[in-house]
Amino acid sequence: MEKRIGTISIVIYDKAVATTVNSLLSEYSDSILARQGLPLLDKGLHIITLVIESTSNEINALTGKLGRLESVEVKSILAKGNNR
At 21-38, the pLDDT tens digits run: 999 999 999 999 999 999
Predicted local confidence at residue 84, as pLDDT: 56
Task: State percent of the chain over pLDDT 70.
Answer: 95
- Residue among 52, 28, 31, 48 nearest 39 (CA): 48
Q: Identify the H or E element spanning 8.
A: strand 3-12
**Which residues have a Cβ under 8 Å from the Cβ of 43 and sit 6 or more positions away?**
none
What value does the mean pLDDT of the chain take?
94
- Cα separation of 64 and 77, whole Å? 14
Task: For the chain, state the CA radius of gyration.
Answer: 13
Predicted local confidence at residue 67, as pLDDT: 96
CATH 3.40.50.150 fits 3-77, yes or no: no
Q: Are 44 and 13 in contact (CB under 8 A)?
A: yes
Predicted local confidence at residue 76, as pLDDT: 96
